[in-house]
Chains A and B, each alone.
Chain A
Amino acid sequence: MMIRQLALATLAIVCAGPVLAQDFEPPLERLIDGYIRPSMSEFAETAGSLPGAVDAVCAKAPEKDAQETFRIAFAAAVEGFSKIHFLRFGPLLEDDRLNRLAFLPDPRGAAQRQIRKIYAKKDETVLSPQTISAKSVAVQGLTALQLIAFDKNSAVRLAEPDDDREFTCGYARSIAENIAGIAADLASEWDDPDGYAKVLLTSSTGNERFHTSKEAIESVFNTLVTGLIIVRDQDLLPALGSSQEDAKAYRFPFSRSGNSVVYMKAELQGIRDALFSMNLMAMTPEKFHWIYNGVDFEFSNAQGYLDNLQSPLRQTFEDGDGYAQVSILAITVKSIRNTLATEMAGALQLAGGFNALDGD
């Protein structure tokens, strides 16, 4: 902590004095073209294959290996989602899309409770994508689909021959279409030159949302910092518990379908790629370029720790050194977050925090 404060103090001294206002529109443009649009388009594609994958499993004469095809399609959609979920601004917040795509976190199992009620009364409003979108956010996205399509042991149970087969298939199909529709809307809204891209890309001359491009990039940069907080505090710490004996693998996101590692790898890679797509280093005084190299190194370490884990975590986390790997991953993610929020933000003279920023 002391070292960090010293580093900050040094930054403050170095950065003091008149500095020309930087134009942050070019990095925002690079982010949109180089990361957001391709990722949204990729998610639209993977989500778009979900309805067909449900159909293939649920057909009267299921295709050979249809369950495996569905498992792969679901994993691809989860991976696509994990690369965009931290872009918590603009289109992802409209129409409550983020919550509707995945209701996270859900430590008290609200989704499971609500889905149980849906089954109890065979609520037919979940069977159509038109009506499911107006239901509770907890019962219409990837997290709901996971609950009805996988069993506790991470096996596909969609279309298993039980009394609820038809209902589950109809419900799954409706969720799949809902997800595909939201993903398609996200992609088209980000592609729209008059959409939120315009809000970010007209910021240097000021608009209704942002007075300057610095404000615009602060909003984006701080979202990436929040993304790292979510990875550690929300995705890792609940599963780690207070000790190895207290570990709860089922608390990892998407653990039920065996996709936790897929999800966490892709979200960390996504945050890294989004950050580096902006090439902020080019706008940073050379003496601070080490920050970017250091962060990149830590991101790559994080991928390494995740590579050492065995999926599905619900079955493997208690054995071997998984706990140690995730523990050090949590420390690494915290360190990346701190470097971004202090050193990198300081070098770029970006303001962060909300309550911490300007006290009252």
Chain B
Amino acid sequence: MRSTGTRSSLFRSGSILRQASGRLRDQATLTTLSRRGFLAALGGLAATPVFSRSTLAESLIGKEAADGVPLFVSAFKKADGDYGVGILDDLGQVLGEISLPGRGHGVAISPDRTRFVAFARRPGTFAVVVRPFEDAEPQVIAAQSGRHFYGHGSFSADGRLLYAVENDYEAARGVVGVYDASGKTISRIGEIETHGIGPHDLMIDPDGKTLIVANGGIKTHPDMPRKKLNLDTMTPSVVYLDAENGDLLAEHALGTSLHQLSLRHMALDGNGRVWVGGQFEGPQADQPPLVAVLGRDESIRVTDIPDSIAPGLQNYVGSVTANASGEIIATSCPRGGQTLFWKASSGAFLGAEAIIDGCGVAPIDQGSFLISDGNGAVSLVEDPTRPAEILARPPGYSWDNHMFALT
């Protein structure tokens, strides 16, 4: 018999960093760090070593798991109300997890795949740097005073810098926070203007020298965290910025008739073009396009969503992801419970998978996608014309908007 002393985790001190209990391997030693220390770090003590190193400390992911197994990372909410970011294998099993002090959103993965940074969902003010394969404590980055994170970021091509989209909320101005990631810890060294409001997703252009930012266009202020303040005048855009000096190299916007389509999430296809998904802030009865494609020197054009599917999507795309070859683009629509697939070269609609609350999408294998949903399932889509296969449903997890291939 097992001890009956267990309680809901409400009565238990949480741990920050641990190998997941949802284990498909025999139990290993757990690594735990105190939650209090973690929260203290967010109180502005980030510079001090708040994580007391446990003598049991070991890497979050064992070498065995890291060796050759494709890994994925996604933010989650648990049934007990806790937030965190989890590392999953290619069968959807949770191998490790890190608690977060609030809801997470996007994750930036270093080019050498040894580190990742989990960003708070807007208007959160924390980002957590994790080295999952080392015996290393997570580093908490607190947003600079007067800024909050928007939920996305990216490492530079050489991994020495980290870029994070942020809100200069008093000036209602989007910025990219630039962080030095070349040392042991990551620290902010400057910022670049995004030439728009509400920057959301950020990518590095294949040239390695240019930032691509989707300015969602929606003005918000942390005093009214989720309220949209400028829906009548919003002007979303996708901009190309010189990573070196912040110069605006190119700017793409939809016409005035679509100015309420907030351009938010992006992916690069195999030809280096940008696919962007939007959420429409105009009248609910309208049925605008939701997906567009553009290039630096190629004007933006929208795709056609079939009439049989469009009405149910509730005008909302949650994430945009290319498969490994960049030939197929997936756009998830969690409000409509559909994930749409597109042929990158022609923009043709390939099909849709019905996955309720499905949102996180990551590339897996040669051409397939892994899709996570708010009901905990991790599904494999190998062919958009056949039903998705549910690989796993780790109990108690609600997977958040985005999933990324970690290895």
Q: A residues engaging B (CB < 8 A)? A: 1-2, 5, 88-96, 98-99, 103-105, 107-108, 110, 114, 129, 133-138, 181-182, 184-185, 188-189, 195-196, 199, 207-210, 219, 223, 226, 229-230, 233-234, 237-238, 242, 353-356, 358-360
Cβ-defined partner of B318 (8 Å) among A107, A108, A134, A359: A359
Name the residue in B8, B24, B80, B373 with the highest tally of chain A Cβ atoms < 10 Å from its Cβ: B8
- The complex places the Cα of A209 from the Cα of B279 at a distance, in Å, of 31
Q: Is the CB of B25 within 8 A of A136?
A: yes
Q: Is the interface of B mostly helix, strand, loop or mixed?
A: loop
Q: List 15 A-B contacts (CB under 8 A).
A: A2-B311, A91-B6, A96-B21, A96-B23, A105-B390, A105-B391, A134-B27, A137-B24, A181-B1, A196-B7, A209-B10, A233-B356, A355-B373, A355-B399, A360-B318
The chain A residue sitting closest to B106, CB to CB, is A360
Determine the chain B residues whose CB is within 8 A of the CB of A207 once the complex forms: 10
User: Is the C-beta of B113 less than 8 angstroms from some C-beta in chain A?
Assistant: no
Cβ-defined partner of A233 (8 Å) among B4, B23, B279, B377: B377
Shortest beta-carbon distance from B57 to chain A in Å: 20
The chain B residue sitting closest to A114, CB to CB, is B24
Determine the chain B residues whose CB is within 8 A of the CB of A223 once the complex forms: 79
The chain B residue sitting closest to A135, CB to CB, is B26
Determine the chain B residues whose CB is within 8 A of the CB of A88 once the complex forms: 79, 376, 395-396
Instruction: Digitize B159-175: 1 where CB-to-A-CB distance is under 8 Å, 0 elsewhere.
Output: 00000000000000000
Q: Is the CB of A93 within 8 A of B26?
A: no
Q: Is the CB of A99 within 8 A of B22?
A: yes
The chain A residue sitting closest to B373, CB to CB, is A355
Instruction: Digitize B368-407: 1 where CB-to-A-CB distance is under 8 Å, 0 elsewhere.
Output: 0000011111000000001101111111101111000000
Q: Is the CB of A185 within 8 A of B6?
A: yes
Determine the chain A residues whose CB is within 8 A of the CB of B358 once the complex forms: 355
Determine the chain A residues whose CB is within 8 A of the CB of B375 once the complex forms: 226, 229-230, 354
Q: Given known contacts A196-B8, A226-B375, is B393 in contact with A108 (CB within 8 Å)?
A: no
Q: Which of B1-47 touch A at CB < 8 Å?
A: 1-2, 4, 6-10, 21-27
Listed from nearest, the 9 A-B pairs whose CB atoms lie closest are: A354-B374, A355-B359, A355-B334, A134-B27, A93-B396, A98-B395, A181-B1, A356-B335, A354-B398
The chain A residue sitting closest to B396, CB to CB, is A93
Q: Is the CB of B387 within 8 A of A237?
A: yes
- The complex places the Cα of A292 from the Cα of B393 at a distance, in Å, of 29
Determine the chain B residues whose CB is within 8 A of the CB of A137 once the complex forms: 22-24
Please tell me the number of chain B residues within 8 Å of chain A, measured between CB atoms.
60
Cβ-defined partner of A105 (8 Å) among B6, B312, B392: B392
Q: Is the CB of B91 within 8 A of A110?
A: yes
Q: Is the CB of B391 within 8 A of A209?
A: no
Q: Given known contacts A1-B311, A93-B80, A137-B22, is B374 in contact with A356 (CB within 8 Å)?
A: yes
Q: Is the CB of B10 within 8 A of A208?
A: yes
Q: Is the CB of A93 within 8 A of B79?
A: yes
Determine the chain B residues whose CB is within 8 A of the CB of A90 once the complex forms: 8, 79
- The complex places the Cα of A107 from the Cα of B200 at a distance, in Å, of 36
Shortest beta-carbon distance from B283 to chain A in Å: 13
| Known contacts A196-B8, A219-B79; 18 further A-B pairs (Cβ under 8 A) | A88-B79, A89-B396, A93-B78, A93-B80, A96-B395, A98-B395, A105-B391, A108-B91, A134-B26, A136-B26, A137-B23, A181-B1, A181-B2, A230-B375, A230-B393, A353-B357, A354-B357, A355-B359
- The complex places the Cα of A134 from the Cα of B394 at a distance, in Å, of 18
- The complex places the Cα of A99 from the Cα of B121 at a distance, in Å, of 29
Cβ-defined partner of B6 (8 Å) among A2, A138, A189: A189
Determine the chain B residues whose CB is within 8 A of the CB of A195 once the complex forms: 7-8
Q: Is the interface of A mostly helix, strand, loop or mixed?
A: helix
Determine the chain A residues whose CB is within 8 A of the CB of B311 once the complex forms: 1-2, 5
Q: Is the CB of B390 within 8 A of A234?
A: yes
Q: Is the CB of B8 within 8 A of A360?
A: no
User: Is the C-beta of B122 less than 8 angstroms from some C-beta in chain A?
Assistant: yes
Shortest beta-carbon distance from A157 to chain B in Å: 25
Q: Is the CB of A107 within 8 A of B400?
A: no
Determine the chain A residues whose CB is within 8 A of the CB of B335 once the complex forms: 353, 356, 359
Determine the chain A residues whose CB is within 8 A of the CB of B314 once the complex forms: 356
Q: Is the CB of A105 within 8 A of B24?
A: no
User: Is the C-beta of B151 less than 8 angstroms from some C-beta in chain A?
Assistant: yes
Q: Is the CB of B2 within 8 A of A355?
A: no
User: Is the C-beta of B209 less than 8 angstroms from some C-beta in chain A?
Assistant: no
Determine the chain B residues whose CB is within 8 A of the CB of A91 once the complex forms: 6, 8
Q: Is the CB of B387 within 8 A of A89?
A: no
Determine the chain A residues whose CB is within 8 A of the CB of B396 once the complex forms: 88-89, 93, 98
Shortest beta-carbon distance from A66 to chain B in Å: 25
- The complex places the Cα of A30 from the Cα of B13 at a distance, in Å, of 30
Q: Is the CB of B79 within 8 A of A89?
A: yes
Cβ-defined partner of B9 (8 Å) among A94, A230, A358: A94
Determine the chain B residues whose CB is within 8 A of the CB of A114 once the complex forms: 24
Determine the chain B residues whose CB is within 8 A of the CB of A136 once the complex forms: 23-26
Determine the chain A residues whose CB is within 8 A of the CB of B390 once the complex forms: 105, 107, 233-234, 238
Cβ-defined partner of B386 (8 Å) among A92, A104, A108, A242: A242
- The complex places the Cα of A238 from the Cα of B379 at a distance, in Å, of 12
Determine the chain A residues whose CB is within 8 A of the CB of B312 once the complex forms: 1
Determine the chain B residues whose CB is within 8 A of the CB of A219 once the complex forms: 79
Determine the chain A residues whose CB is within 8 A of the CB of B24 once the complex forms: 103, 110, 114, 136-138
Shortest beta-carbon distance from B216 to chain A in Å: 9
Instruction: Digitize B310-343: 1 where CB-to-A-CB distance is under 8 Å, 0 elsewhere.
Output: 0110101010000000000000001101000000
The chain A residue sitting closest to B25, CB to CB, is A136
Shortest beta-carbon distance from B390 to chain A in Å: 5
Shortest beta-carbon distance from B101 to chain A in Å: 14
- The complex places the Cα of A185 from the Cα of B1 at a distance, in Å, of 8
- The complex places the Cα of A213 from the Cα of B22 at a distance, in Å, of 29
The chain A residue sitting closest to B392, CB to CB, is A105
